Structure 1
Amino acid sequence: MKFTQEQITQFNSDLKSQSPSDIVKWALEHAEKPVITTNFRPYEAAILHVVSQEFDKINVVWCDTGYNTPETYKHAEEVINQLALSIDLYVPQQTRAHRDVVMGNPSVADESHKEFTEQVKLEPFRRAMEVHKPDVWFTNLRQGQTAHRDNLDILSLSKDGVLKVSPFYYWSDSELDKYLIDHKLPNEHSYNDPTKVLEHRECGLHL
């Protein structure tokens, strides 16, 4: 179902007082092909939990850059097993070993960083979206993460017109910490995103 921006603005006003689980229920009522994406960064267990509790068969897309820390991979396995997630894994078409030789891991200032980001994150993501063709996309965007995300809301539209749903958009770290404790969910803070480098820099998927 396609919504106008005016409708989305009204929905956001209505949903702001709702719980994450109620937001997920609302979104699923309007979805035909929902999907959730994850990279197993800090607090991802919360979004994976709240969505899978309402729809345990949802497709979970993991675009693995190949540059995650060992702790993140261990964390991913723990969350996947605990929540019995159905993971659809997407990886870059070129191996990390090959890329390390021809490109390395360029800094943000390096002119090759744009191509690096395209290879390890954007191309796998586009490939995943082309396969799944979702109309609703659950993600864990939150206010305060980047300047761009501060201009979004619980509901927003991707550049392709997919309805992005961020049930925890207005939640703080401390509120999410309590959510994880209450639901006995793990967390992991040694996550590395080689395309962002800086914490408040946008990764490119949500622009």
Structure 2
Amino acid sequence: MSPEELQSINQRLQSASPLEIIRWAIDQAPESAIVTTNFRPYEAVILHLATQVQPEIPALWIDHGTNLPETYIFAEKTREKLSLNLKPYLPKMTAAHWLALNGGQVPMPDEVERVESFSRIMKLEPFERGMHELAPKVWITALRKEQNPQRAATLQPVMWDAKFQCLKINPILEWTPVEMDAYLAEHDLPNERTYYDPAKGDEKHECGLHAKLVTDKQ
């Protein structure tokens, strides 16, 4: 898709709601759309929005095996609440195996080499495998500008992902915690506040799946 086409689409969708953006996106490829999740705080929002349009939409989840117990409980509550068509992808190396070879503990944000190793082996490889096997033409994400300040100016609701040759849809880019909390309350959705991603370290660093593996062309 050309930059001109993307610009035109984003202009047309400029005043559209997240639900309207998702409806438009799924209409482009109703049999080939997915939504991705890591079950971090507020993930129930994007999953609820996506399933409102397509209840059986595949939800790709990379379970690297070292999530906190609260995250797994949240994932199960959300799966049950939304009847998610969850597609978990696991690394080829178990979490216990990786930890045994890498100091016994998940990496901290300042441990650059360990973070890079964890990201590459435990998260990026299964993500790439999942994307190739599911082969989406439309990929719906929970990206928000607030959480991606280093790329905020380049993010658009509709983008083109060159690596996976699909539309990358970011319907809640502009939402802040105020909108997210209100949506959770309105729809009685589960949430959790305790989350740690060893592939990036904290809430303000961008997810490796978007920053390292994927190339967006506008």
Q: What displacement does 1:99 show?
A: 1.1
Backbone CA RMSD of aligned residues: 1.4
For residues 93-115 of structure 1, the C-alpha deviation after alignment (integer angstroms, 9 at most, x for no partner) is 11111111111333444324322
Counterparts in 2 of 1:120 and 1:22: CA distance versus 1, 3 Å: same
Aligned residue in 2 for 1:102:
101
Q: How does 1:49-198 map to 2 (within 5 A)?
A: 49-104=48-103, 105-107=106-108, 108-150=110-152, 151-160=154-163, 161-198=165-202
Q: TM-score, normalised by structure 2?
A: 0.89
Q: Which amino acid aligns with 1:117?
A: S
Q: TM-score, normalised by structure 1?
A: 0.93
Q: Which amino acid aligns with 2:63?
A: D
Q: What displacement does 1:34 show?
A: 0.6
Q: What displacement does 1:123 show?
A: 0.2
Work out whether residues 141 and 149 of structure 1, in 8 Å CA contact, stay in contact via their aligned partners in 2: no
Work out whether residues 146 and 176 of structure 2, in 8 Å CA contact, stay in contact via their aligned partners in 1: no
Aligned with residue 27 of structure 1, among 25, 28, 35:
25
* C-alpha distance in structure 1 between counterparts of 2:12 and 2:102, whole Å: 48
* C-alpha distance in structure 2 between counterparts of 1:123 and 1:112, whole Å: 16
* C-alpha distance in structure 2 between counterparts of 1:193 and 1:159, whole Å: 25
Given the alignment of the two structures, is residue 7 of structure 1 paired with residue 5 of structure 2, yes or no? Answer: yes
Q: Which amino acid aligns with 2:172?
A: F
For residues 101-138 of structure 1, the C-alpha deviation after alignment (integer angstroms, 9 at most, x for no partner) is 11133344432432221111100100101101111000
For residues 125-154 of structure 1, the C-alpha deviation after alignment (integer angstroms, 9 at most, x for no partner) is 001011011110001001121234412111
Instruction: Please state whether the residue corresponding to 1:193 is helix, strand or coil.
Output: coil
* C-alpha distance in structure 2 between counterparts of 1:159 and 1:97, whole Å: 34
Instruction: Please state whether the residue corresponding to 1:144 is helix, strand or coil.
Output: helix
Instruction: Please state whether the residue corresponding to 1:157 is helix, strand or coil.
Output: strand
Q: What displacement does 1:19 show?
A: 1.0
* C-alpha distance in structure 2 between counterparts of 1:176 and 1:147, whole Å: 18
Q: Which amino acid aligns with 2:121?
A: Q
The count of residues paired between Structure 1 and Structure 2 equals 205
